[in-house]
Structure 1
């Protein structure tokens, strides 16, 4: 799947994921709970076909996120 399959929020969370910060830091920046970030990442990982943070970051970089 391509970038268009991701929601806007999933793309935002992925962009923060590239900064190598904690999920709690991402949640604090986005004014949501850590569990919300985890849920958004699970959904994005499934759409990207990846299972690790490293793979997700690599995918995001390769797709311009």
Structure 2
């Protein structure tokens, strides 16, 4: 996903808004850390982070970490 596509995605309202935790997890994905490290920072299990990541990906219409990071940057989350 290019930055232009990410920006275009932002212009279209999300069918479901991101939860506060989904926004936090998306911001964390932009750093060079594993899901385990994100989980430890947020005091939750790795499976909880995986579930939040999957939910956020579905809502913003991406399928990879790189696309999610581009979307998050365009949205000002990271």
Shorter-chain TM-score category? over 0.9
Q: Which runs of 5 or more structure 2 residues have no equivalent in the other structure? A: 1-12
Q: Which runs of 5 or more structure 1 residues have no equivalent in the other structure? A: none
Establish whether residue 37 from structure 1 lines up as the match of residue 49 from structure 2: yes
Give the number of the structure whose alpha-carbon radius of gyration is greater.
2
> Which aligned runs of 4 or more in structure 1 are off by greater than 3 angstroms?
none
What's the CA shift for 1:20? 1.7
* CA RMSD, 1 decimal: 1.2
From 50, 59, 62, the equivalent of 2:62 is: 50
**Number of positions where the alignment pairs a residue of Structure 1 with one of Structure 2:** 64
**Larger RCO (CA under 8 A, 6+ residues apart):** 2
**Length-normalised TM-score, structure 1:** 0.93
